[in-house]
Each structure stands twice: as structure tokens, then as C-alpha cells.
Amino acid sequence: MAQPKAIADRIEFDRLPDSALIRLRQLLAGGLLPFSMSTAWRKVREGRFPRPLRISTQVTAWRVGDVRKWLEDPASYRDPETQRACRSQARPSPEGQK
């Protein structure tokens, strides 16, 4: 009996090494993400989904290991890069200190 495509894609995802790169369309088509493409990009901006790597001017991809970390606990995931950027913006400048 043939497996549904989403299950077959999930099995292939599970076989990939953490260092592999995967495109957003593959994550969505494989049923790994329970939301739309626009929601994925919003979550990236908010730091609630891993940031992708820019491969070229029109190509971005995610590290499989980063997506796996998100899948472990999506509700409490916070992207480390976004958190660092937010903390650095919140710090007062040295000129303002006395």
C-alpha cells in the first residue's frame, strides 16, 4: 500500500542530516509546517521560526537541524539571532549614560 505524500516526505526529512538545507516549499508540501508560507515568513520576522540562509538573490533555505529544534517545541521557540538583535536594540547608547 502506498503512503500518502506528506508521510513519505516526512520520512525523507527524518533521513536528512542536520546540516542539510531545505526550501520552504518542501517544508510546506511535506506537511511539516502547520501554516502557510506568509505565516512562516511572519514567524521568521518575529523570531518564532528559524531564520533561513540566503543561498542566492532569489533562493533561501533552512538548515534541517534548525527546523528540527523548532519542531521539538514550536510554542516556546525563539530564534537566537533575533533575540540578540532585540537585546542590542534595547540597550541604551553609551552617550546617554552618566
Q: What is the pLDDT along the chain (98 residues), one digit of tens a residue?
A: 555 666 656 668 889 999 999 999 999 988 899 999 999 999 999 999 999 999 999 999 999 999 999 999 999 999 887 665 555 555 555 565 54
Cross-strand partners of 21: 63
CA distance 7 to 29: 10
Looking at residue 71, its pLDDT comes to 94
Output the pTM of the full model: 0.74
pLDDT at 4: 60
What per-residue confidence (pLDDT) applies to 30? Answer: 84
Side chain identity, residue 60: T
Kind and range of the H or E run holding 12: helix 5-15
Predicted pLDDT of residue 87: 57
Question: How distant, in Å, are the alpha carbons of 6, 15, 22 from that of 53?
Answer: 24, 21, 10
